[in-house]
Amino acid sequence: MIHSIYSQVSVTESLTTLIICLLRHTEKEKDPKYWNAGAQQTLRTALTLQTLNTNKAKNLILFLGDGMGIPTVTAARILKGQLNGQSGEETQLEMDKFPFVSLAKTYNTNAQVPDSAGTATAYLCGVKANEGTVGVSAAAVRSQCNTTEGNEVTSILRWAKDAGKSVGIVTTTRVNHATPSASYAHSVDRDWYSDNEMPAEALQAGCKDIARQLFENIPNIDVIMGGGRKYMFPKNTSDVEYPSVAKHSGTRKDERNLVQEWIDRMKDKKGHYVWNKKQLLSLNPNNVDYLLGLFEPGDLTYDLERNTETDPSLTEMVEVAIKILRKNPSGFYLLVEGGRIDHGHHEGKAKQALYEAVEMDRAIGRADLMTSIHDTMTIVTADHSHMFNFGGYTARGNTIFGLAPMLSDVDQKPFTSILYGNGPGYKLVNGVRENVSTIDYEENNYQAQAAVPLSMETHGGEDVAVFAKGPLAHLLHGVHEQNYIPHVMAYAACIGQNREHCMSRSGTADLRPVLSGIVALLTVTRLLC
């Protein structure tokens, strides 16, 4: 009875919201002038893009929405609008405002549907790789330590650091998770978070865990923020925030305290270690040159569940990071990962995933206010998609987490607009599909129904969007391999292997093909033929 009453109340509230939204938009949208005027304004804006921004990029920012496929982008757009009292569909995400959009092919060298490690190696290191590996080429085999040496590949973060830029990593996952680790580590197994997770033979063969590589491979990364505290401390060391929770204790078998080692190394270099929001926001960025922020033992909490008093948001972390990094007159490179979009989808919790995406978009907006398109290239993309979608002929303004307007013509039961192709949301009650009207399908952790039962929902294999703005952003067009992304960023900033074309006097980049590029192309052609 309670569920039935709740369902009725929920439907009533949804209908009320829908009516308000429709009344707000219906009248003006009936007039062709509304649509014509909007299209003409868009046309005028597009015409201004005929003058290409060929400046040299002083700063580079890559926003990576882990698992943020195109259906997630669209659903997040609607949610953002609905959170602001609109019907949602007409809303603009910050990334929607970027002038150039392309598609990236996400497959790994050994996988049609990729994972986050192989894809990270592509969009950070510029080469495609096998699933489960970070910072190594496709010649390396997952979990086989002896295939590491000689197959290491460096990332654009390293290229930027070598060019004298400040560099930073900000993530909502562990700082040694797949996405951030590809920017500094060379590991044949993404799960080697600390030496505790590594097989004895790999340790004996000389392979290093990813947490250790964070501090040793590129020892002066200027800003590091995210989770993963427990991987930095000796085994069984109580966590500073959860001292009585055993699962949050340190994991390291080598008894090293990587955080203390960092603090000792940075004590005379304006280095600061923080583990909560108060400490972070009390810093004066002008007095900070190096920052290590580890805010959870593992991943950061979902934004919907975040303690706003003790845990910083992604937007807050990004703001502090830019304030520190931009002090460098040579510019900076910043990797920002909205990493828990992916986790929400894996758990079938679309509401968690979409709120994570909206928060990342908020961070994109904050970065926009703190930088200029004249000297900062900003790219927003995803590593892969998910088996997530929404449909069912829902009406304009329908809550994104709501029901489709009809019953199934097969089992005569209602269904939510959001569904998964596979995952933990598959559920039978008395041998038939669960009636979602009897449960709270708008609850934060509701697991949307799935077609195929799996304990964890899987990635999707379709192309992902790449949004770009700033110097030379127009080079991201059409459909490209995912590993093309860091090559464009490096070219725009005149770093890495892309420097010969630069004209430093004028501050612009020469768009003419360079001889070395032609030679490289001919070499590849001969290899392929």
10-residue mean pLDDT series, the chain (529 residues): 42 56 72 91 88 96 98 98 97 98 98 98 98 98 98 98 98 98 98 98 98 96 98 98 98 98 97 98 98 98 97 98 98 98 98 98 98 98 98 97 97 98 97 96 98 98 98 97 98 92 62 44 42
- pLDDT value, residue 508: 62
Task: Find tokens 């960092």 and name the residue.
Answer: 262
| 308 touches 342 (CB < 8 A) | no
Task: Find tokens 């039978």 and name the residue.
Answer: 428
Nearest residue to 269 (alpha-carbon basis) of 287, 293, 284:
287
Q: Tell me, what amino acid is at 481?
A: E
Residue 25 among known ligand-binding residues: no
Q: Tell me, what amino acid is at 169?
A: I
- Would you call 390 helix, strand, or coil by DSSP? strand
User: Using CA atoms, how far apart are residues 319 and 367, in angstroms rounded to an integer?
Assistant: 7
Token pair belonging to 188: 């044949």
Task: Find tokens 């706003």 and name the residue.
Answer: 308
| 396 touches 89 (CB < 8 A) | yes
Residue 346 among known ligand-binding residues: yes
| 59 touches 377 (CB < 8 A) | yes
Strands 464-469 and 100-105: antiparallel
User: Using CA atoms, how far apart are residues 222 and 235, in angstroms rounded to an integer?
Assistant: 27
User: What value, to the nearest 5°, has the Cα angle with vertex 258 and ends 253 and 264?
Assistant: 140
- pLDDT value, residue 526: 42
For the chain, the maximum distance between any two Cα atoms, rounded to a whole number of angstroms, is 75
- pLDDT value, residue 279: 98
Residue 272 among known ligand-binding residues: no
| Residue 170 backbone phi and psi in degrees, to 5 | -130, 125
Burial, 375: exposed, middle or buried (Cβ in 10 Å; 0-12, 13-18, 19+)? Answer: middle
| Residue 278 backbone phi and psi in degrees, to 5 | -60, -45
**Looking at 102, 116, 183, 194, which residue is catalytic?**
116
CATH code linked to domain 59-386+463-493 = 3.40.720.10
In sign, the C-alpha dihedral spanning 241, 246, 249, 255 is positive
| 375 touches 104 (CB < 8 A) | no
- Would you call 24 helix, strand, or coil by DSSP? helix
SS (H, E, C) 491-505: HHHCCCCCCCCEECC
pTM: 0.92
What is the per-residue pLDDT across 207-218, written as a single tens digit (0 to 9) for each?
999 999 999 999
Residue 501 among known ligand-binding residues: no
Nearest residue to 347 (alpha-carbon basis) of 444, 416, 248, 435:
444
User: Using CA atoms, how far apart are residues 477 and 331, in angstroms rounded to an integer?
Assistant: 25
User: Using CA atoms, how far apart are residues 135 and 130, in angstroms rounded to an integer?
Assistant: 10
Residue 248 among known ligand-binding residues: no
Nearest residue to 281 (alpha-carbon basis) of 335, 240, 319, 232:
319
What is the per-residue pLDDT across 127-165, written as a single tens digit (0 to 9) for each?
999 999 999 999 999 999 999 999 999 999 999 999 999
In sign, the C-alpha dihedral spanning 293, 298, 301, 302 is positive
Strands 418-423 and 388-390: antiparallel
CA 70 vs. chain centroid, Å, equals 13
The residues, any chain, with a CB within 8 Å of residue 507's CB and separated by 6 or more, are: 55, 56
Please count the CA atoms within 13 angstroms of the CA of 387 that sit on its side-chain side: 22
CA 71 vs. chain centroid, Å, equals 15
Helices (H), ranges, 84-184: 116-125, 156-162, 178-181
- Pinpoint the residues of the chain covered by CATH 3.40.720.10: 59-386+463-493
User: Using CA atoms, how far apart are residues 339 and 489, in angstroms rounded to an integer?
Assistant: 21
- 137 part of the active site: no
The residues, any chain, with a CB within 8 Å of residue 36's CB and separated by 6 or more, are: none
- pLDDT value, residue 507: 59
Q: Quick one: DSSP state of residue 65?
A: E
